[in-house]
A = this chain, B = another copy of it.
Amino acid sequence: MEDLKKSMQPASSNIIESRIIQAVLSEEISPGERLGEKDLGEIFGVSRTLVREAMMRLSSRGIVAVSPRRGWFVIEPTVEEARETIEARRSVEIGLLMNQKIISVDMIKQLEAHVLEQQRAIDENDLGRRSYLLGHFHVQLAAALGNSILANILEELTTRIVLIAALYQSKADAQQSCDNHRRLVNALRVNKVEEAIKIMDAHLTYLDKALNTRLRKHELSGKLSN
């Protein structure tokens, strides 16, 4: 959490907010981590007022929550919330693809470039960047499909997914995600919407299954330790 700050100027509350989202996406901060107003204020060189503004917005997006007089904490979704988040994302992404207009050549190129970046991060073993890019791809996709509102919603949902993955999932296969993204872009380029939807659906089902597996493990270890 000490490395959140990047520039030397005092930051606005918007900057704080997006830095924290970015930090979650890059797995720099983990579910359950405490984010003290005082600490953050010192890190970003501002008073608690601006920190609180950022936290307020982050809490309204379901990224952090406050425990009265104890502090702000990055949320730790319960299994139920995790399921709902995955289902919500499935609804949004499938709906997004189904309502797809024709996607421009430029956009396809941009998405392909993004996938290449992902591959590079994987090859260079840049873990934070890798996590960030793999999540951010879906935001990019929504933006490419021409809807900034859905892009916003997906940013919220993918951020939560990263938290969920950190909690319940065995390390996701980054390479497989990246491959899926590549196949998705390919399908979109030749306008095979059906296939794109299938890929997306499979991707999310995979996520959900991983969640189930991990959950069963939790239950098991719970029983063993009692």
Contacts and interface: CB of A to CB of B under 8 A. Distances in A.
Contacts of A90: 95, 99
B84 A91 contact: no
A148 B85 CA distance: 9
Interface in A79-106: 81, 84-85, 87-88, 90-96, 98-99
For A90, A91, A148, A150, the residue with the greatest tally of chain B CB atoms inside 10 Å of its CB is: A91
For A52, A62, A95, A146, the residue with the greatest tally of chain B CB atoms inside 10 Å of its CB is: A95
Contact of A88 (B13, B88, B149): B149
A11 to B, nearest CB: 16
Contact of A91 (B52, B60, B62, B95): B95
20 contacts: A13-B56, A52-B53, A53-B53, A56-B56, A62-B149, A62-B152, A81-B149, A84-B147, A84-B150, A87-B99, A87-B147, A88-B147, A91-B92, A91-B147, A91-B150, A92-B92, A93-B95, A95-B95, A95-B96, A149-B157
B148 A84 contact: yes
A57 interface: yes
A94 B98 contact: yes
Contacts of A84: 146-150
For A60, A147, A152, the residue with the greatest tally of chain B CB atoms inside 10 Å of its CB is: A60
Copies, count: 2
The interface size bin for chain A is 20 to 34
Interface in A44-66: 52-53, 56-57, 59-62
Contact of A95 (B13, B60, B85, B94): B94
Contact of A96 (B91, B149, B153): B91
Contact of A53 (B56, B62, B85, B149): B56
A57 B56 CA distance: 6
Contacts of A150: 84, 87-88, 91
Given A88-B149, A94-B95, A95-B95, 19 more contacts: A52-B53, A53-B53, A53-B56, A57-B57, A84-B147, A84-B150, A88-B150, A88-B153, A90-B95, A91-B91, A91-B95, A91-B96, A91-B147, A91-B150, A92-B153, A94-B98, A95-B96, A149-B157, A153-B153
